[in-house]
């Protein structure tokens, strides 16, 4: 494995992390959009519209950045590496596929562990529609984390190609 391959793996893992993090924010954004139309006072209307724009634009910006990092890995690697990086060998403990699997399991595990306490708290204190939306949002984040961990081998094999 060449030193430039390590750069490619690192860039692609960063893109995968941003993609999973952005997808996990989608339920919160959808919950916010759903709650935006109900119960909005005229005093808070402009602030909520601005917040909606900021959340929506940040979602699409992170999504575009993640896709760029994943799809443009070779282009970015060419920009940041030197000619010696393509010639210099580097020893790693595993091949690309295994590294992607490990990264996906770590990313999914972090998503599950960071969301689980909030999910349990909101489930315990479930009293109104906003709490129910938060429970749905948290459970979908946990589901995304479980999918990332469960299908880490398949997704890792896909990215290793």
Predicted confidence (pLDDT) at residue 11 exceeds the cutoff of 80: yes
DSSP secondary structure code for residue 72 in this structure: T
User: How many whole angstroms separate alpha carbon 137 and alpha carbon 123?
Assistant: 11
Q: What is the reported pLDDT for 94?
A: 79
Calculate what percentage of the chain has a pLDDT beyond 90.
Answer: 11
- Which of the two residues, 37 and 1, has the higher pLDDT score? 1
Question: 14 with 68: CB under 8 angstroms?
Answer: no
Query: 142 to each of 20, 28, 131, how far by Cα in Å?
Result: 12, 13, 16
CA angle 12, 10, 64 (to 5 degrees): 35
Give the chain's domain count.
Answer: 1
Q: What is the reported pLDDT for 38?
A: 59
Question: 160 with 96: CB under 8 angstroms?
Answer: yes
User: How many whole angstroms separate alpha carbon 88 and alpha carbon 91?
Assistant: 10
Q: What is the reported pLDDT for 118?
A: 85
Alpha helices in 37-128 (DSSP H): 42-71, 73-80, 96-124
Q: Which residues span the domain enclosing 146?
A: 3-160
pLDDT tens, position by position, 83-115:
887 777 877 777 888 888 888 899 889 889 988
Angle between helices 129-150 and 152-160 (to 10 degrees): 60
Write phi, then psi, for 125 (nearest 5 degrees). Answer: -100, 30
pLDDT tens, position by position, 14-56:
998 888 888 888 877 777 777 666 555 555 667 777 778 888 8
User: How many whole angstroms separate alpha carbon 30 and alpha carbon 15?
Assistant: 23
Predicted confidence (pLDDT) at residue 68 exceeds the cutoff of 90: yes
Predicted confidence (pLDDT) at residue 143 exceeds the cutoff of 60: yes
User: How many whole angstroms separate alpha carbon 138 and alpha carbon 59?
Assistant: 17
Note the pTM of the prediction, 2 decimals.
Answer: 0.73
pLDDT tens, position by position, 144-157:
889 989 998 898 88
């Amino acid at each position: 494995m060449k030193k430039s391959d390590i750069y490619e793996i690192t860039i692609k893992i960063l893109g995968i992390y941003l993609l999973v993090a952005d997808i996990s924010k989608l339920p919160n954004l959808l919950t916010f959009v759903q709650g935006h139309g109900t119960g909005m006072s005229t005093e808070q209307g402009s602030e909520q519209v601005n917040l909606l724009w900021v959340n929506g634009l940040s979602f699409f910006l992170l999504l575009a950045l993640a896709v760029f990092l994943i799809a443009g890995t070779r282009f970015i690697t060419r920009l940041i590496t030197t000619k010696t990086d393509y010639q210099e060998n580097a020893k790693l403990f595993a091949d690309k596929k295994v590294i992607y699997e490990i990264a996906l399991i770590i990313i999914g595990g972090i998503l599950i562990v960071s969301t689980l306490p909030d999910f349990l708290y909101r489930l315990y204190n479930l009293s109104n529609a906003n709490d129910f939306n938060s429970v749905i949002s948290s459970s979908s984040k946990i589901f995304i984390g479980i999918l990332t961990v469960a299908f880490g081998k398949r997704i890792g094999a896909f990215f290793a190609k």
